[in-house]
Amino acid sequence: MQAKSDYPSHIDLQPARRAQGTVRLPGSKSISNRVLLLAALSRGTTDIRDVLASDDTQVMLNALQSLGIAWQRNGTTQDYTVTGGAGAFPNRQADLFMGNAGTAIRPLTAALAIIGGDYTLHGVARMHERPIGDLVDALNAIGAQIAYTGVPGFPPLHIRAGRVAARTLEVRGNVSSQFLTALLMVAPLIAHEQAVTINVIGELISKPYIEITINLMRRFGIEVTRDGWQSFAIAAGQHYVSPGRLHVEGDASSASYFLAAGAITGGPVRVEGVGSNSIQGDVRFVESLQQMGATITMGESWIEASASGVLKAIDADFNHIPDAAMTIAMAALYADGTSTLRNIGSWRVKETDRIHAMATELRKLGATIEEGADYLRITPPREIAAAEIDTYDDHRMAMCFSLASLDGAARRGAVIRINDPDCVAKTFPDYFDVFATVATHSL
């Protein structure tokens, strides 16, 4: 698996007059890491096709290997075969490095706490700044033994065998949907003789990611019954069973950059690997592009974006698609007025404080920015200024700002220097190479 790119310390992107062509998307990170863990918890062997090649999935694979789960990569493909542990991990003691992979550390913390053993989990410095307290509180409340070995509420963690028993769990929903995902994924391991209900306290953000979790659990034999978005029940006696073979669809968040490029420049740009049959909520990103005036066509496994004029400013709630919403902030540079992205407070606890980072870097391009606790207001500049963009070790910052090199109907792109482009290895190691295949440069 390619886990790191070979880009230099910075990349200079020249202005591109148009973006057009077709891109085959890498596998979804959210699906890849969920499926790898579900396969590890299942009875039987699972063949998983098109697993994402990235730092975050490598973190999960390494952790499963340390826990004694047997897996193998099939040749030079991104296909893996995972032999499940039937609800247990062979190795009851391990020291696990989790990098900055939230999709790995949150569900693994829950699984290790329920299965029991002696485990330590730690990551890069930013991981130790990303909250996990709501998940730990929910698990410790039912008998798990999870201790903080650094700052309370954050990794690193030390997990020891507890005495877990519960009919009901409670978790806050307003910081990260990954906490609820983690509890849902381990609930069948608790519900041996009686049903388990998980109640969400307050608002649940990023609901489409919970739909991904429930959909994939169903593929592995587990039915989740929900009452709106506040209560989720798992009946007793269910066990994870391998579906045999499972395909990872293309990453909808990664699709957003190419679709936005088509909308900004006129396109058309088509992405393959995700479409109307997608289980990912981020496909709804195209609804926002349509609101901005783009033309979207879609098949079962492809989406195409084009436009015939200046994009329209947008004022919308993006709680449901926080990652893809960053791309809308870039499209707003090419709009006909001020755009407002609302209800994006979760940006502040991602790979970096994305509200602050986006505001800082957009100002370098000449945009006028109003930054709130949970919103961003973007007034585009008369002309996009050439700029040196810092990426904050955040893959989405690097990919987003590549779009500022594009010529739109309202204003031309500029020379954009992307610092530390290697950070895209978290989800899309060859992003800039792929971006270059659709960006047509001025002569």
Domains with residue ranges and CATH for the chain: 10-26+251-441 (3.65.10.10), 29-237 (3.65.10.10)
Between CA 393 and CA 220 the distance in angstroms is 34
3-state secondary structure 190-206: HCCCCCEEEEEECCCCC
Label the pairing between strands 302-306 and 339-342.
Answer: unpaired
Label the pairing between strands 339-342 and 315-317.
Answer: parallel
Asked if residues 67 and 20 have their Cβ atoms less than 8 Å apart, the reply is: no
At 3, is the pLDDT very low, low, confident or very high (cuts 50, 70, 90)? very low
Closest of 104, 119, 9, 109 to residue 55, by C-alpha? 104
pLDDT in tens, 166-183: 899 999 999 999 999 999
Residue 64, H or E segment = helix 55-66
Q: Comparing 1-10, 163-172, 218-227, which segment has the lowest mean pLDDT?
A: 1-10
Between CA 362 and CA 57 the distance in angstroms is 30
Provide the 3-class DSSP secondary structure of residue 72. strand
Strands (E) across 130-289 are located at 145-148, 157-160, 168-172, 196-201, 224-227, 231-234, 245-247, 269-272
Judge whether residue 371 has pLDDT over 60: yes
Judge whether residue 284 has pLDDT over 50: yes
- 323, 394, 420, 422: the catalytic one is 323
At 365, is the pLDDT very low, low, confident or very high (cuts 50, 70, 90)? very high
pLDDT in tens, 396-411: 999 999 999 999 999 9
Two tokens at 378?
């973007």
Closest of 283, 276, 306 to residue 294, by C-alpha? 306
Between CA 259 and CA 270 the distance in angstroms is 7
Label the pairing between strands 302-306 and 269-272.
Answer: antiparallel
| Mean pLDDT, range 195-223, rounded to an integer | 96
Between CA 138 and CA 144 the distance in angstroms is 9
Two tokens at 289?
């592009």
| Mean pLDDT, range 285-312, rounded to an integer | 97
Judge whether residue 2 has pLDDT over 80: no
Q: Is 186 left (phi over 0), alpha (psi -120 to 50) or beta?
A: alpha
Judge whether residue 332 has pLDDT over 90: yes
Q: Tell me what pLDDT residue 6 has.
A: 80
Residue with tokens 């490029």: 261
At 440, is the pLDDT very low, low, confident or very high (cuts 50, 70, 90)? confident
| Mean pLDDT, range 130-134, rounded to an integer | 97
Known catalytic residue at 47: no
pTM for the full predicted model: 0.92
At 5, is the pLDDT very low, low, confident or very high (cuts 50, 70, 90)? low
Strands (E) across 295-384 are located at 295-298, 302-306, 315-317, 339-342, 368-371, 375-379
Strands (E) across 56-166 are located at 70-73, 80-83, 93-97, 118-122, 145-148, 157-160
Judge whether residue 292 has pLDDT over 90: yes
